[in-house]
Structure 1
Amino acid sequence: MNYPQRRNPIAAFFVGLWDVMNFTRRLILNLLFFGLLFFVLLVIVVAATRGSGVKPLQDRTTLVIAPEGRLVEQYSADPVSRAVGKAMGDTGADEIQLRDLLRALEAAQKDKKIERVLLQLDKLQPSGFASMREVAAALQTLRGSGKQVVAFSESMSQWQYLLAAQADEVYLDPMGSVLLEGLGRYRQYFRTGLQEKLGVDVNLFKVGEYKSAAEPYVLDAASPDAKEADLYWMNDVWQRYLADIAAARKLDPAELAAGIETMPEGIAAAGGDLARFALQQKLVDGLKTREEVEKLLAERGVADSDADEGFRNINLDAYLTQVDSRKSPLDKRPQVAVVVAEGEIAGGDLPAGRIGGVSTSALLRHAREDDDVKAVVLRVDSPGGEVFASEQIRREVVALKQAGKPVVVSMGDLAASGGYWISMDADRIYADESTVTGSIGIFAMVPNFSRALDKIGVHTDGVGTTRFAGAFDMTRPLDPAVGQVIQSVIDKGYADFTGKVAKARDRSVESVDEVARGRVWSGAQARDRGLVDEFGGLQDAVADAAERASLGEPGKYRVRYIEKAASPFAQFMAGFAGSRIGSWALADSAVARMMLARTLPEMDTQLRFVEQAVKDRNGAPVRSLAYCFCGF
């Protein structure tokens, strides 16, 4: 008689454990599947309930422009992060694309439904003066078309005030303030902390006495050369700011400057009342609360009890939806492509908000291979970064020109160092007078941690087959002969930089060296020195590129941004988060908050820059950098 063999107790335990794990796995997969299916059904239902049409814009509507966050050329977060953040009311990482603000103002200029524009700039974060001046010019054009512009603020910085000053009327809350204080640029210096406290020696190799990007790691204060150069271009930008304000408000720039110098006495005379002081300085036209301004607009426009503001209005996002709905989806006109290069330049395939040697080159290559693209505008807003990545992008600019497609560069707030490297070979370079550019120079930093490790009793020792084997190890003292090798590499990099600029700009190397050596210039100073061709913004650059490609009048071609496309899943999630049901579902979701925190980009810091500069050199003894810690 055969009896069934009893299973070993240990084996039985593991078999049972496997059954439990297998059941759990199937359960999780089923939950994920049905959860995703539920999301899809929600989006379908929302789309059906919202309808496919856009609500018609009514006559005598006020366009309310109340931007929150930084003014950027390109979003730095992916669509999912932005949509989820907006659904949850997270305003910490808000951004407004400059192109969106400009096209809204341009559309409002010709839109008969828009009667006036209300500017509320309290939550607009500081940006560079070049982009702000571009918006200011658009506001002036809007006023010139006959549309009234009213600005209101509870409290304004001098950055925000540059835009508010363009309005027909500027109102300030009686408890608010507007202070013009001037431009300053101050940085932290780490030499004592790094070298004396921590025992970290930073070896700096550079060409150019004005190349000050790495000074904080080797000095305790700014060098005299750095102070001289910074004050030179900053004074130029500041004097232009005062002139812009004076022209908009019909004031004397000298009186504005005098009001800043005598600010303590002026505020004391106003009884410490900052709003009253702003009124006395003629920076604002009146002191009104938000409710009083809304009542004024309701009287001038159309009262609307259903609107929170009390008058008929449309916000910026809703108006952009209106503008987009008027576009034809089948536009076969020839194209002027715009490729945005914003942020630090580094190697590899990088997301929006940073410039990748591989990813940005791929966008330019796409424009070159697309037969519908007849010309390209490269919009640059960058402090620079890695030399090799910059060279990869420059080569694609040259390839576009060789393919018969004109390339025009439009510099934004900042196009310095590596930002200038990728710009120099364009057919034409446009910049605002207040753009920060130049900084033609090269440097490298090699930190050494041998003294820091010695403090905690850690030492490095071993053998090598030659005197240079392991010589670039940062845990060993730097051999002077190795320093000589690095300096030779940097010297060659600087010669490459100035040589390429000389060839691209049809100048001698000697004349380029005179305006290079790491020195930073304003856009106006750069044009005087032959580094920039024309003053103008993005629209001027687009018009130039179209003319070079013989595309005719503006209506004969269209402008298309070439950017990395979001994945289908990202588009789905962005659409869901942007719906009413999606906003409700995500508003109180701890999981969504965790996902958002993980996807938002980290803040760049000077110490992080050092970390990036010394790692992942791909076998190279040192990474050459063309970077500028300039701007505000």
Structure 2
Amino acid sequence: MEFFAEYASFLAKTVTLVVAILVVLVALAVLRGRGRRSSGQLQVSKLNDFYKQLHDRLEHSVLSKDQLKSVVKEAAKAAKLEKKAAVHKPRVYVLDFDGDIKASATDNLRHEITAVLSMATPQDEVVLRLESGGGMVHSYGLASSQLARIRQAGVPLTVCIDKVAASGGYMMACIGEKIISAPFAVLGSIGVVAQLPNLHRLLKKHDIDFEVLTAGEYKRTLTIFGENTEKGRQKFQEDLEITHELFKNFVARYRPQLAIDEIATGEVWLGMSALEKQLVDELKTSDEYLAERAKTAELFHLHYAEKKSLQERIGLAASVALDRFALTWLSRLNQQRFW
């Protein structure tokens, strides 16, 4: 037993040392990286090549040598005629937005849009593959404003939704001149919600005072620790209603065909029902739409990637290692507790 006790003590000291080192590395990375902006790079790939590689791979596996030879000959002939005719195909610029609660992807989206607008013409098209369940009002307001730049430039914007575009996500989607949805994608949720716990009674029970000092009658309407008043609740609700009205007006501006008061109830609909409500214009997956467009246009996928500094990479690796370590030990503690 004495051996196991000494071993446990040694293990605890080792774990503590490892955790301390990771914390120091994270702190150093944060301090050294503070105030510095990482440079990024725009990555561009031609989706036509991707689709052609899929097609060619299948042809080489399925067709006989004679059939393949004939197909290659016909393709070369068609390419030669197309080049001779100097046919100019329209360009389709494909962007992706995978939204979290803070709409963090906006940081990259704005650079991608700036790049597109430096070349795109009204004969081209921007396709946004959008996935988001919504989040903060101001964050998604900025993301929507970035998309509005495309409309203002006169470049057609198509929004494709395969899984979900709700609340702030639909706020972005409605800017598209055409909204395409998968049959079972989730859409709508045109509403506003806010919630917070209140611990005032718990603090009062333990004779703990919490003071909230403000300058301005409505500087703080509801608080977590202070005593909330009915007047404060009414003001908070009033603010929510104002935000909701702005949301409704924004959607109605870009989708005038909607019966806005009927659909702005916070409800969500699946793609097939959303089509009936005119929340979307067509039922189709983004893969199907882009594969069709690849037949008549040049498709370019854009992704702006931030370059992380050495300190940021070390900090990220340390953070991931620390999270994994914490999860592992919490899991073991739970097993010991319950088993």
Pick from 100, 114, 126 the counterpart of residue 365 of structure 1.
Answer: 114
Q: 2:273 is matched with which residue?
A: 525
Identity across the alignment (%): 23
Q: 1:23 is matched with which residue?
A: none
* Deviation by residue 1:366-403 (Cα, 9 ceiling, x = unmatched): 32234589321111111111122222222222221221
**1:447 Cα offset (Å):** 2.7
Cα gap change, 1:112 to 1:527, in 2 (>3 Å): closer
1:336 aligns with 2:101: no
Cα gap change, 1:463 to 1:513, in 2 (>3 Å): closer
Matches within 5 A, 1:235-254: none
TM-score, normalised with respect to structure 2: 0.62
Cα gap change, 1:371 to 1:433, in 2 (>3 Å): closer
**1:457 Cα offset (Å):** 3.7
Cα gap change, 1:437 to 1:465, in 2 (>3 Å): closer
Asked whether the equivalents of residues 417 and 438 of structure 1 are also in contact (C-alpha less than 8 Å), the reply is: yes
Asked whether the equivalents of residues 221 and 235 of structure 2 are also in contact (C-alpha less than 8 Å), the reply is: no
Pick from 143, 153, 162 the counterpart of residue 393 of structure 1.
Answer: 143
- Is there any run of 5+ residues in structure 2 with no aligned partner, and where? 1-45, 65-87, 328-339
1:449 aligns with 2:199: yes
Q: Structure 2: how far apart are the matches of 1:520 and 1:112?
A: 40
Cα gap change, 1:456 to 1:359, in 2 (>3 Å): farther
| Letter matched to residue 262 of structure 2 | E
Asked whether the equivalents of residues 341 and 378 of structure 1 are also in contact (C-alpha less than 8 Å), the reply is: yes
Q: Structure 2: how far apart are the matches of 1:487 and 1:436?
A: 27
Asked whether the equivalents of residues 377 and 541 of structure 1 are also in contact (C-alpha less than 8 Å), the reply is: no
Cα gap change, 1:566 to 1:456, in 2 (>3 Å): same
Q: Which protein, 1 or 2, shows the higher relative CO under an 8 Å CA cutoff with sep ≥ 6? A: 2
Cα gap change, 1:536 to 1:556, in 2 (>3 Å): closer
Q: Which moved more, 1:477-486 or 1:520-529?
A: 477-486
Q: Structure 1: how far apart are the matches of 2:119 and 2:250?
A: 28
| Letter matched to residue 192 of structure 2 | I
Q: Structure 1: how far apart are the matches of 2:170 and 2:195?
A: 21
* Deviation by residue 1:159-204 (Cα, 9 ceiling, x = unmatched): xxxxxxxxxxxxxxxxxxxxxxxxxxxxxxxxxxxxxxxxxxxxxx
Q: 1:558 is matched with which residue?
A: 298
- Where 1:448 maps in the other structure, the secondary structure is coil
Asked whether the equivalents of residues 412 and 431 of structure 1 are also in contact (C-alpha less than 8 Å), the reply is: yes
Cα gap change, 1:114 to 1:480, in 2 (>3 Å): farther
Asked whether the equivalents of residues 449 and 475 of structure 1 are also in contact (C-alpha less than 8 Å), the reply is: yes
Q: Structure 2: how far apart are the matches of 1:452 and 1:390?
A: 35
Cα gap change, 1:108 to 1:455, in 2 (>3 Å): same
| Letter matched to residue 376 of structure 1 | V
**1:483 Cα offset (Å):** 1.3
Asked whether the equivalents of residues 390 and 422 of structure 1 are also in contact (C-alpha less than 8 Å), the reply is: yes
- Where 2:303 maps in the other structure, the secondary structure is coil
Matches within 5 A, 1:83-482: 107-111=53-57, 114-115=60-61, 335-346=91-102, 350=104, 355-356=105-106, 358-371=107-120, 374-461=124-211, 467-468=217-218, 470-482=220-232
- Is there any run of 5+ residues in structure 1 with no aligned partner, and where? 1-98, 117-144, 147-331, 547-553, 574-590, 604-632
Asked whether the equivalents of residues 345 and 418 of structure 1 are also in contact (C-alpha less than 8 Å), the reply is: no
| Letter matched to residue 365 of structure 1 | T
Q: How many residues align?
A: 254
Q: Structure 2: how far apart are the matches of 1:371 and 1:462?
A: 53
* Deviation by residue 1:397-427 (Cα, 9 ceiling, x = unmatched): 2221221211000001111111111000211
Larger gyration radius, structure 1 or structure 2: 1
Pick from 490, 500, 503 the counterpart of residue 240 of structure 2.
Answer: 490
Q: Structure 2: how far apart are the matches of 1:395 and 1:472?
A: 30
* Deviation by residue 1:449-488 (Cα, 9 ceiling, x = unmatched): 2223334442113655555455444221112112111111
| Letter matched to residue 238 of structure 2 | S
Q: Structure 1: how far apart are the matches of 2:316 and 2:137?
A: 38
Q: Structure 2: how far apart are the matches of 1:387 and 1:411?
A: 20
Q: Structure 2: how far apart are the matches of 1:462 and 1:417?
A: 32
Q: Structure 2: how far apart are the matches of 1:501 and 1:592?
A: 38
Q: Structure 1: how far apart are the matches of 2:273 and 2:253?
A: 21
- Where 1:559 maps in the other structure, the secondary structure is strand
Cα gap change, 1:517 to 1:112, in 2 (>3 Å): closer
Asked whether the equivalents of residues 108 and 114 of structure 1 are also in contact (C-alpha less than 8 Å), the reply is: no
Higher helix share: 2
Q: Structure 2: how far apart are the matches of 1:420 and 1:466?
A: 35
Asked whether the equivalents of residues 158 and 179 of structure 2 are also in contact (C-alpha less than 8 Å), the reply is: yes
**1:105 Cα offset (Å):** 7.9
Cα gap change, 1:502 to 1:469, in 2 (>3 Å): closer
* Deviation by residue 1:86-143 (Cα, 9 ceiling, x = unmatched): xxxxxxxxxxxxx99x997874444256537xxxxxxxxxxxxxxxxxxxxxxxxxxx
- Where 1:111 maps in the other structure, the secondary structure is helix
* Deviation by residue 1:62-84 (Cα, 9 ceiling, x = unmatched): xxxxxxxxxxxxxxxxxxxxxxx
Asked whether the equivalents of residues 95 and 303 of structure 2 are also in contact (C-alpha less than 8 Å), the reply is: yes
| Letter matched to residue 116 of structure 2 | A
TM-score, normalised with respect to structure 1: 0.35
Q: 2:34 is matched with which residue?
A: none
